[in-house]
Amino acid sequence: MGSVEHTNGTAPQLNGSIQHNAGSDLFRLNDRTVVGEHTSKHQTAYTLTAAVTGGLGSLGVSLAQTLLEYGADVVCTDLPEAPQDEIWLTLKKVADSTGGQLRYVSCDVTNEDSVSRAFESAESGSRYPIRGLVTCAGISGRCPAVDYPVDKFRRIMDINVTGTFLCATAAARVMQRQMVSGSIVMLASMSATNVNQLARSLAAEWGNDGAHPPIRVNTYSPG
Ligand SMILES: NC(=O)c1ccc[n+]([C@@H]2O[C@H](COP(=O)([O-])OP(=O)(O)OC[C@H]3O[C@@H](n4cnc5c(N)ncnc54)[C@H](O)[C@@H]3O)[C@@H](O)[C@H]2O)c1
């Protein structure tokens, strides 16, 4: 069973695997909906862009598709310089049918410069403000704990925790500069405790800082 941690705003429900009808809940911002209700297929376009890290992975592609279907423009980021044709064609077809803008920006979430460049590029090439971020970039490892190599453990922390922090802060900087409210949804899987605590801390700071529109921060834990 998957779960969603609620850090501020209205509590969304996400049970089991990622479901299409979870899209509007993940991005609901108190009474204001960042991504609209999915009342009909290929509903009206909403004037926002959402970034998806790990956007060429299985969760990233699925969530990018959901966001497009809910009417958002989407910027996928991932490690390769360019997206693989097969995955991209599938997403492109969805974007074409919804009228959404779909773009790809290469990014290593563990590298601060790479993350900054990626969000600058995402912001400058988008027709609407970036108001959503879903972090899906992550790795896991299967190995008895007593034999687990420390380098691998450090790598997991670097990608899953530090990478999530770097992307969330880069997205928040853009939202705060543009004075728009937003919603950040972080994958909390192998490093759930760290990411959940990070989300609580960021939500407390960005949910109502008095100087900027609120940014909601939640986590989700699939599987
Ligand atoms: N798919 C599930 O049902 C499920 C369930 C539980 C946990 N998880 C965890 O969620 C995460 C994503 O799952 P997935 O199935 O989409 O995995 P995936 O391997 O299909 O996708 C992960 C993506 O993250 C990208 N990535 C890795 N390192 C990166 C870096 N340094 N910078 C930028 N991108 C990077 C990869 O290139 C890949 O495209 C993984 O950590 C996985 O362990 C997934």
User: Residues 31-43: pLDDT tens digits?
Assistant: 444 554 444 444 4
Q: Report pLDDT digits (tens) over 8-35.
A: 433 333 333 334 444 555 565 544 445 5
Ligand 1 contact, 18 CB (< 6 A): no
Q: Is 1 helix (H, G, I), strand (E, B) or coil?
A: coil
Are 195 and 160 spatial neighbours (Cβ–Cβ below 8 Å)?
yes
Q: Report pLDDT digits (tens) over 183-196.
A: 999 999 877 889 99
Ligand 1 contact, 79 CB (< 6 A): yes
Strand partners, 132: 50, 183
Q: Which atom of ligand 1 is nearest to the CA of 159?
A: 31
Q: Report pLDDT digits (tens) over 136-152.
A: 999 988 889 899 999 99
Ligand 1 contact, 64 CB (< 6 A): no
Amino acid at residue number 8: N
Which residues are CB-contacts of 124 (< 8 A; sequence separation ≥ 6)? none
Q: Which residue has the higher pLDDT, 41 or 48?
A: 48
Taking the C-alpha atoms of residue 31 and residue 186, their distance in angstroms, rounded to an integer, is: 21
* Span from the CA of 144 to the centroid of ligand 1 (angstroms): 20
Token digits of residue 10? 């209205």
| pTM for the whole structure | 0.87
Ligand 1 contact, 223 CB (< 6 A): yes
Looking at ligand 1, which residue's alpha carbon is closest to its atom 17? 57
Query: pLDDT at position 47, please?
Result: 79
Q: Report pLDDT digits (tens) over 90-128.
A: 999 999 998 999 999 999 999 999 999 999 999 999 999
Query: pLDDT at position 26, please?
Result: 57
Which CATH number belongs to the domain containing residue 36 in this structure?
3.40.50.720
Residue 131 has φ and ψ, to the nearest 5°, of -125, 5
The range of the structural domain enclosing residue 216 comes to 3-221
* Span from the CA of 31 to the centroid of ligand 1 (angstroms): 31
Residue 46 confidence class, pLDDT cut points 50, 70, 90: low
Which residues are CB-contacts of 89 (< 8 A; sequence separation ≥ 6)? none
What's the structural domain count of the chain? Answer: 1
